[in-house]
Amino acid sequence: MKLYDGKVAGALIFAGAVQFILGMLVAECLYPGYSVSKNYISDLGVGATAPIFNFSVFLLGAMVLASAYFLRQRVQSRTILGFLSLCGIGAMGVGIFPENSPYMLHTVFALIAFLFGALSAIASYKVQKPPLSYFAVILGLTALVALILFAYSEASVNVGGAPENAFYLGLGKGGLERMIAYPVLLWAIGFGGYLTKE
């Protein structure tokens, strides 16, 4: 039963990440004048592309949260289960509360999803075997560093009124935000595949 539950968890993580990447790609193509450098990822959650993006990110979160449920039979570490659960809740919140939501709800849930997604990747080190365990740590750390730089850039531009092109590592706010999201999504695909094979 533990083996089967691990395969279900892996399939859920894999499918959740893949469908979100494809959903985001479709939304980017349909959003008029969208720039991966100049626009936030969550800009896709308002306007004509909102149904696609918001459903896709909510589904990602729900599948990650469900995977944590199934994974509890396969993994002894409560740390990764907690991180995965929080990441899933964060992604679901992003889908429920688009960026024009009040009380900074979107920002809070996005931070939860980004932070605990990166921490999940790092925590999976003990679940996977090398070399995937090493790649997981590298991808998680990449996302964490990008999150810190993104937060610093946002504060500098919004609070200090500094020119945007002086921050975000020259990638633009959308580009640097993707340096948080993409490593976690790539890890999720690899981790999901690893679990389905176990």
Residue pLDDT, tens place only, 56-110 = 999 999 999 999 999 988 888 899 999 999 999 999 999 999 999 999 999 999 9
Q: What is the pLDDT of residues 139-192, one digit of tens each?
A: 999 999 999 999 999 888 877 666 776 789 889 999 999 999 999 999 999 999
Count the Cβ atoms, other than its own, within 10 Å of residue 156.
16
d(CA 55, CA 76): 31
Residue 109 near residue 94 (C-beta atoms within 8 A): yes
Nearest to 153 by CA among 142, 164, 143: 164
Sequence-distant (6+) residues with CB within 8 A of 6 are 70, 71, 73, 74, 75, 195, 198
Instruction: Tell me the mean pLDDT in the region 15-34.
Output: 98
Sequence-distant (6+) residues with CB within 8 A of 75 are 6, 81, 127
Instruction: Tell me the mean pLDDT in the region 19-37.
Output: 97
Instruction: Tell me the mean pLDDT in the region 16-28.
Output: 98
Residue 125 has pLDDT above 80, yes or no: yes
